[in-house]
Structure 1
Amino acid sequence: MRAVVHRPKRLFIENHQAWAGLVVGLLAFGESLVLVGILLPGTTVLIIVGGLVGAGVVQPLPVLLAAMIGAALGDTISYFLGKWLGRGGVHKWPLNHYRREIARARLFFHRYGFAAVFVGRFFGPVRATVPLVAGMMGMNRRRFQIANILSAIIWAPVVLSPGWLVAKGADSLPELDATSLFGLAVIAAIVAAIIVAVIVIRLRGRRDART
């Protein structure tokens, strides 16, 4: 990864690390914001940023905090937009062009409620629309924010970790200290739990469709 990041670019990034946090925060914000997240998913760029963290080009803490704050803020705005528009908002411009996506999110939210907000951030087809639907359906604000903030805290390291792992390389894993290895184990457990949850949700959805 260090070879990929050419020295001039790397020096520029190192000397302007404040911009890294801002860019990551904006990407996470856009990824979570309704419509923007549908049209311009930023996950790929965030994975690349994770690689820069692993290569030592960018400090991890500002990037992680920016990703968490941006993701939580994007979902919060989408939620309040849904509350303001109400259930009939789907018939208004520009949401009327995305009725299929919103209908899918509404079904997902109707089935799983609180869990839909928490897991939805990791579930591509409904990621950018579940917060909007939660607002439209009148979900309690406190319950929404608990699910929103907890999922943002988990989502940030999970989305950055693939790039970080690639940059570190498998050969360097034995050299990591106990704290880093514990962190990796926690992230791996979270990812596994999310994968299992998504699989269960999909299987349950198929079963309900047959009945």
Structure 2
Amino acid sequence: MNKAFIFDMDGVIVNSEQAWSKHGSNFLKELFGEEIAKKIGDPIGMTVNTIYGIAAQNGFSMDKNKYLEIYDKQAAHIYSKANITEGVEKLAQALLKSGYKMGLVSSSRLKWINHVLPKLSFGKHFEHIISVNDRPDLKPKPNPGSYLETIAKLEASPKTTIILEDSNSGIKVAKLSGAFTIGFNQNLIPGYKQNGADIYANNMFEVVKIIQSFRVSF
């Protein structure tokens, strides 16, 4: 049985949620109009398919392919502005040194994930990557299927797995998988309140300390 560590991407590996807030704060209003944007609410942790579904239920009539084209263009701009989280490379080094298998589960489209992976020296060490948005066979967060699949692919068990998440929907699904869950708060937008994690970390250096003290029961 392996030890596994699974990353969320947005707000964890890359500071994209603050970048969306800074560089794309009016994007939803411009795309959907103020009333529909209000119905969507906070999009953190949502897939673009989920967002489109809510918008369509509230009168949004744009063709989905056109919608995705617009969203992908905005995402490319955002990821060009977003910084890789300080210390994540050292965390990856510590994980590999300690014998952890690494996976990545994200609500973002695979196209968006591929904007980030080339920026990571450890990207090739992800042994399983899931874009929940691009897997219609998987229910979106907070259903734990994406994490359970990744745990199985890494030949681990929930008891030997740590998941690093930032959004409350992500924390909820991580906990539902049975894994030990760290709530990462370094990149949260101001005012966002986390809840439900086993432990919280203010930065990647604290995450390293947590994994060093984590005791795996095989």
Normalised by the length of structure 2, the TM-score is 0.32
Larger radius of gyration: 1
Normalized per residue, which structure has more strand?
A: 2
TM-score (norm 1): 0.33
The structure that is helix-richer by fraction is: 1
